Structure 1
Amino acid sequence: MSQRLAPAVGIASCLVLLAALVFPYFVAPGSAVAVYYGTVAVPVYLLDALFASVAVVAFGSAINERTDPPTVAGATLALGGFIALLTLWWVAATSADTLIETARMDSLKYHRWVVLLAALAIPASATWYARSVL
């Protein structure tokens, strides 16, 4: 059961992360979002989106049993670890008021924490899957 449920939770976590990364573009001006995501030298939101998209494919191959389970477990754990570390770096470097000051939007006050929680859910589900197949 957990060999199919853990990758499904991983896919859901990746999709939540992708939705959270895109959300500010729908509710704030693009220039404000550029300042918000530009607080670190590396485009963390793009790398997170790329790694999350690859993780969706990897978790999907685990559900469909198209790839060796230990290989998928290792790949998703590595991807999830990179996503979590990059997001943690961005959250630590980003001021809580960056987007609020730029866009004057109090509704996005906790956005970076939602992104971090979604990012941490990916390696958690990858660890769950790895424990179930190894």
Structure 2
Amino acid sequence: MDSRRAAPMLGIASSLLVVVLLVIPYLIVDSAAVASYYGAGALTPWAGGLMALVAVIIFAAGREERTDPETAAGAGLGLGFVVFIVSALWAATVPADVPLQLGMAEPLVGPLTTGTVLEYHRWMLAVVAAVPAAAAAWYAKTLRLF
């Protein structure tokens, strides 16, 4: 396995996953309710989503060597850290009752309900948001920057 290509690929995939996780509530709940859900925290998680999209470009440019790989790894590390901080801060400051109020017991698939998905959504986003920073750290370590 070539870590010089695998690390930025993990960064690209995880950054895109952050954006996908941000879109999921719009697929299962009314968009006005999702806007209040995303507005309930200290920051909007869409700020982290925007940084994740920029990180996709940075990781891809470094992987294809259109940008100096060392520069891409450093920029990816900074962006990944921002994505994680914004997502974790939002997840920690959303009141626990807000996601539960959005989707009571509407069945989605089998035992999965809208309320269950939204109850764990913010924490899943915070965990997944840590992966781009970890991928950038792996990329930097592969390039022997630290």
Give the TM-score, by structure 2 length: 0.86
Instruction: List aligned pairs for 1:31-110, cutoff 5 A.
Output: 31-42=32-43, 44-104=44-104, 105-108=114-117, 109-110=119-120
Q: How many Å separate the matches in 1 of 2:129 and 2:33?
A: 22
- Higher helix proportion, which one? 1
Instruction: Tell me the residue number matched to 1:14.
Output: 15
Cα pair 1:25 1:33 within 8 Å, conserved: yes
Cα pair 1:29 1:103 within 8 Å, conserved: no
Q: Choose 94-103 or 60-69, whichever is displaced more.
A: 94-103
Out of 125, 128, 132, the position equivalent to 2:138 is: 128
Q: How many Å separate the matches in 2 of 1:75 and 1:124?
A: 13
Out of 121, 129, 139, the position equivalent to 1:119 is: 129
State how many pairs are aligned.
133
Q: How many Å separate the matches in 1 of 2:65 and 2:96?
A: 42
Q: How many Å separate the matches in 1 of 2:46 and 2:87?
A: 11
CA RMSD of aligned residues (A): 1.2
- Return the structure number with greater relative CO, CA threshold 8 A, min gap 6: 1
1:30–1:52 Cα change, 3 Å = same
- Please tell me the residue identity of whatever aligns with 1:15: L
- TM-superposed deviation, 1:32: 1.4
Instruction: Tell me the residue number matched to 2:109.
Output: none
Post-superposition, which runs of at least 4 consecutive aligned residues in structure 1 deviate over 3 A?
none
- TM-superposed deviation, 1:97: 3.0
Larger gyration radius, structure 1 or structure 2: 2
Identity %: 40
Cα pair 1:32 1:99 within 8 Å, conserved: no
Cα pair 1:32 1:103 within 8 Å, conserved: no
- TM-superposed deviation, 1:23: 0.4
Contiguous gaps of at least 5 residues in structure 1: none
Contiguous gaps of at least 5 residues in structure 2: 105-113
